[in-house]
Structure 1
């Protein structure tokens, strides 16, 4: 899977010239959406069918600071998937050095109710299970 590249913008930094840590959540969303598009399930496909995927939990471990105009390479992998929850992992590097490790947890909903992905999104669920297995083999 091709990693996502985010170029740190000047406006994403603070007075010290360091990327504000809140931006990493946005970087994760950008990378996750790119990943879904790469596996042929862009987020728009869900929205077109009345399905949303809220973030229910996020954790980040910041290792090194980034600054403008660093290029952050973000590798995304599926850590765990079951019928109701998806956990995505992210490793962010600059010039080969890890700057952040993160995870996000998601569910899928329609009309305010959590859906069973295996039943309502079977192709997507199978793809995620395959990606989870591939990620475990590359660990």
Structure 2
């Protein structure tokens, strides 16, 4: 499991003063990028080799709003992993309160857009499933 902290800035909020719904997707994207970096997976090197991770599917639940200046924590964990696919659970919390939950399917693809097996050094760093998405 990986934890990533994010502060809610004024620019993240909408007219009602709550986090604009699409910004949760930005928060969890940043958390995934930092998770891969912390594991020692160099996405720029993967791109030079013609491979990238892309989001194939996302299922999101907006549970409670975050507001300006909130300190949030994004929790990311692997739910399922295949040769070319990772299904992640990502949760955004303010303290102990769950605000947002997502199940994200990532696929490793070539420059031509075709799914491809993840490199062995990447799969070895990722480990395996860590959680359920409940």
The verdict on a shared fold, with TM-score over 0.5 as the criterion, is yes
Question: Structure 1 regions of 5+ residues with no counterpart?
Answer: none
- Give the whole-Å Cα distance in 2 for the aligned partners of 1:10 and 1:23: 12
Instruction: Considering fraction of residues, name the structure with more strand.
Output: 2
Shift of 1:106: 1.2
Q: How does 1:1-139 map to 2 (within 5 A)?
A: 1-112=1-112, 113-117=114-118, 121-128=119-126, 130-132=127-129, 135-136=130-131
TM-score of the pair, normalised by structure 2: 0.90
Aligned pair count reads 132
Which aligned segments of 4 or more residues in structure 1 are displaced greater than 3 angstroms?
Answer: none
RMSD over aligned Cα, in angstroms? 1.8
Distance 2:31 2:131 in 1: 19
**Separation in 1, partners of 2:2, 2:79:** 17
Structure with higher helix content: 1
CA contact (8 A) 2:77 2:90 kept: yes
Answer yes or no: is the 8 Å Cα contact 2:80–2:128 preserved in 1.
Answer: no
Query: How far apart are residue 22 of structure 1 and its match?
Result: 0.7
Segments of structure 2 that go 5 or more residues without pairing to the other structure are: none
